[in-house]
Structure 1
Amino acid sequence: MSGWIDLAGQRALVTGGSKGVGQAVVAALRAGGAKVMTSARSRPDDLPADVAFCAADLSSAEGCAALADAARETMDGVDILVNVVGGSTSPGGGFGVLTDDLWAREINQNLMAAVRLDRALVPGMVARGAGVVIHVTSIQSQLPLPESTIAYAAAKAALSAYSKALSKEVTPKGVRVMRVSPGWIETEASVALAERLAEQAGTDFAGGKKIIMDSLGGIPLGRPAKPQEVADLIAFLASPRAASITGTEFVIDGGTIPTV
């Protein structure tokens, strides 16, 4: 990676960096030479010694404020902000089972974490006249799954719209804002889901993966994306090689979305 992009001297904050895509993004930005800080609810055992860490629950305003303060104290500001943290914990059962509390939880985790961190840290980028913000959205903002991810999909759609508006405001001031929209990614959580579905259906792991792909309408590539593949895209967008790219969304879904 270090021969492909140059992020030397850049200060990067990656949320949700303890596993999955976030962990891969931390590794990719480190390899490019950036000084990296990350967060999760608890410190991972395998965190590299040179990566700064702040334990924070980013679904709360207090957690976001604590992380922003830690980034300013530890790195004296942020040049690259990658909002990875997100996910869905709502039960299946469609719209009728989604209480106000469940809606609030999904929105706080998938929308407001990014909004609050941007509000705290982007003004510093604007003051310096340079910076990069990358929001990890989801193809479910376009392809929601009504059985179990309505609130998650709606929150990610809101994040996408907010990100576009932010880019129009701060790009003229030197701050690039982009969205990366993954489809199904083969993380530890998704592997566990495939295994659980396989057990319920009386099939093997490959059969469990097929159940998930079929629920998405199929993945023409024939497999989910790897976390490293998503991280490589994010590292490129954060680098000077993407200096003229802003305000747009990059879909990395193996062809899942069937429309232009």
Structure 2
Amino acid sequence: MGAGWIDLAGRRAVVTGGTKGVGGAVVAALVDAGARVVTGARARPDSLPDAVRFVPADLMSAKGCAELARFAESELGGVDILVNVLGGSSAPGGGFAALDDEIWMNEINQNLMAAVRIDRALVPGMVQRGSGVVIHVTSIQHELPLPESTIAYAAAKGALATYSKALSKEITPKGVRVVRVSPGWVETEAAVRLAKRLAEQAGTDYEGGKRIIMDGLGGIPLGRPAKPQEVADLVAFLVSPRAAAISGTEYVIDGGTVPTV
């Protein structure tokens, strides 16, 4: 990629969940396009680009979200681009009955409230300046939930999608675009570990492990998961001036997994 395709020179960006997986790819893509980027997590990874400003913060908590927002305002002097990537699930299998209140709250804090809190801290500045872009990374699971293990995750992502749409209706007329990106299965580091574990259990190879996951999703017509870089490229386009007329909608990047219109 790079400035020849997308030019974000001088843009100030915050990315949550930006230390690995899709978030890490988004950070790299924005830096490559010329943006100044801030991200935060509990610990700084070794692989983070040197140009990225990092703050240690637990974004599962209100305190951690506030710390990231204060750091970003201090380091950047304002924010033009906010990409809420943070998400995931650590819920056990076993269906709805296996999910107690603590698990539900963890899933909601990670997949909904982190975005709500960061937006509440940083979006008013965008509105005041009359410009900015907010991306919420949702999931196809808000349309295609997997009841065995991701009920709470899917519900939280569904709430994030609804909140994002409402936010877009409020602030797009004030100059701030809001767009959702909805990935299907993405071949992140965590996905690779899962496929390898399933392959070992089934006595097959890595490609066989991937096939087990794809079959569990009902199949991916494209025949493979998306790459983190592919999701990051979509995000980079959506936050750029090339997407200036796009707001309030959702872009699905799932290789055709969702079988309905």
Under a length normalisation based on structure 2, what TM-score does the superposition of the two structures give? 0.99
CA–CA separation in structure 1 for the residues paired with 2:231 and 2:49? 20
CA–CA separation in structure 2 for the residues paired with 1:200 and 1:145? 21
CA–CA separation in structure 2 for the residues paired with 1:55 and 1:185? 26
Corresponding pairs, count: 260
Partner of 1:23: 24
Partner of 2:167: 166
CA–CA separation in structure 1 for the residues paired with 2:11 and 2:178? 16
Partner of 2:84: 83
Partner of 2:196: 195
CA–CA separation in structure 2 for the residues paired with 1:245 and 1:178? 7
Question: Which amino acid in the other structure matches residue 52 of structure 2?
Answer: V
CA–CA separation in structure 2 for the residues paired with 1:204 and 1:81? 39
Q: Gaps spanning 5+ residues in structure 2: where?
A: none
Partner of 2:130: 129
CA–CA separation in structure 1 for the residues paired with 2:225 and 2:42? 26
CA–CA separation in structure 1 for the residues paired with 2:258 and 2:135? 21
Q: What secondary structure sits across from 1:176 in the alignment? A: strand
Q: What secondary structure sits across from 2:209 in the alignment? A: helix
CA–CA separation in structure 2 for the residues paired with 1:97 and 1:219? 28
Q: What secondary structure sits across from 1:30 in the alignment? A: helix
| CA RMSD in angstroms, aligned pairs only | 0.6
CA–CA separation in structure 2 for the residues paired with 1:10 and 1:225? 27
Once the two structures are superposed, the pairs formed by residues 148-159 of structure 1 within 5 Å of their partners are 148-159=149-160
CA–CA separation in structure 2 for the residues paired with 1:198 and 1:8? 44
1:61-113 Cα deviation digits (max 9, x unpaired): 01101100111111111100000011000000000010000000000000000
After superposing on structure 2, the runs of 4+ consecutive aligned residues of structure 1 that deviate more than 3 Å are none
Q: Gaps spanning 5+ residues in structure 1: where?
A: none
Question: Which amino acid in the other structure matches residue 7 of structure 1?
Answer: L
Percentage of identical aligned residues: 76
Which one is further off, 143-152 or 199-208?
199-208
| Matching of residue 114 in structure 1 with residue 153 in structure 2 | no
Partner of 2:46: 45
